[in-house]
Copies of this chain bind each other. A is one copy, B any other.
Amino acid sequence: MRITKQPRAYRMRQRAELVEQTRQRITEATARLHTTIGPAATSISGIAEEAGVTRVTVYRHFPDLDVLFQACRAHWREQHPPPDARAWPAIPGLADRARHALTELYGWYREHAESLYPIYRDMTSMPRSSQDEIRATNAWLGDQLVDGHTPKGDAGRRLRAVARHLVDYPTWRSLAIEHDLGDDGAANVGVRLLTAMSSVPPDEGRGRRASSRRSAAGGP
């Protein structure tokens, strides 16, 4: 170890690249395991083996598991881009938007049903940070679905709650797969529910509060 002020200039051009490749292999191995056996059954040893690397190497690259999990999720989503929910609010009618959005989203869920399954199943065995990230993403999705259609009071809160419930992967799975409605069937249920909810009497929710029009709701 050097204690000199200028500890010798060392740039690592190609070196850095190799290092990055190793990091990638670890990240990808983790993603592969998370989407098959699931996070709960994924051990450091397993990751190392899957990546063709020593356990020590994994520890070196990711002393903090949270970082690995985040990198893993980021990598996977980059390779499997979800529908662009930012475009949803452009569709004015709630029913139209819901039909479009849910069809799009449920299609994506269907496409990656197997991969996403272990993730949601093992949610609680993941670090808090990852859980929060997933939950935030989901909440944002729901908000995009009803943005501009949520009145100020409880009616708005209820509609948003239902929207968030509908965009959740487990909800899709329950409707479309477990109860055999299929993607279209599940989407129709969602549309029906949202339109039905948007005309709920104001006293039907958690408390009582008047309903008005207009609202905003933004993304994270």
Contacts and interface: CB of A to CB of B under 8 A. Distances in A.
B158 A219 contact: no
A215 B87 contact: yes
A195 B209 CA distance: 19
Given A81-B214, A175-B161, A181 B168 contact: no
B137 A220 contact: yes
Given A184-B206, A197-B192, A206-B182, A219 B84 contact: yes
B179 A219 contact: no
Nearest to A139: B179
A83 B181 contact: no
Given A107-B214, A211-B103, A219-B82, A196 B200 contact: no
Contact of A197 (B189, B208, B220): B189
Interface string A164-207: 11001011001100111111110011001101110010001111
A165 B185 CA distance: 13
A83 B209 CA distance: 19
A78 B162 CA distance: 34
Interface of A: 40, 77-78, 81-87, 100, 103-104, 107-108, 121, 124, 136-137, 140-141, 157-158, 161-162, 164-165, 168, 170-171, 174-175, 178-185, 188-189, 192-193, 195-197, 200, 204-209, 211-220
10 contacts: A77-B218, A81-B217, A104-B211, A108-B214, A137-B219, A141-B219, A182-B205, A192-B200, A195-B196, A220-B220
Given A84-B215, A162-B175, A188-B205, 18 more contacts: A77-B218, A84-B217, A84-B218, A107-B214, A121-B124, A137-B220, A158-B181, A161-B180, A161-B181, A170-B174, A180-B206, A181-B206, A183-B211, A184-B206, A184-B207, A185-B206, A192-B197, A219-B220
